[in-house]
Amino acid sequence: MRILFLLFSGTNNTLEIARLLASDFALEGHTSEITNIDIDTPLVDLSNYDLVALGYPIYAFNEPRFFGVMSSGCNSAKKPSILFSNLPEKHSPSTTLRAGEFSAN
């Protein structure tokens, strides 16, 4: 399976989580590509991937605003997805990992 990690990682914490997840997927024989995105990143062609993993840090208890645009792109492509986010340790001792599929709703 080909997995695309699309993430925003201002301090590289979310990037490190993506690397750990990609490493675990590699142990199962899957290939991963990690792409750090920001507000200026154009929509990514998802047709070559079987799974999209979206990752971001929590800012003011929400995702970064521009991240919704990328989420919408995955939604329209009907790709299976994994959504992961992280909080600084002072707010939460763990990373949240939520698996699912974006729907058209």
Task: Find the CATH number of the domain harbouring 34.
Answer: 3.40.50.360
Residue 85 to residue 94: CA distance in whole angstroms? 10
Q: Which residues contact 99 (CB under 8 A, 6 or more apart)?
A: 81, 82, 83
pLDDT over 60 at 48, yes or no: yes
| Banded pLDDT at 11 (limits 50, 70, 90) | confident
98's CB contacts (< 8 A; 6+ apart) are 82, 83, 84
DSSP 5: E
Q: Which domain holds residue 54?
A: 2-101
- Write out pLDDT tens, residues 51-105: 999 888 876 666 666 666 665 655 556 778 888 887 665 544 444 444 444 333 3
* Count of structural domains within the chain: 1
**pTM of this prediction?**
0.73
Per-residue pLDDT at 35 exceeds 80: yes
Is the pLDDT assigned to residue 28 strictly greater than 80? Answer: yes
Tokens for 58, please give them. 């929590």
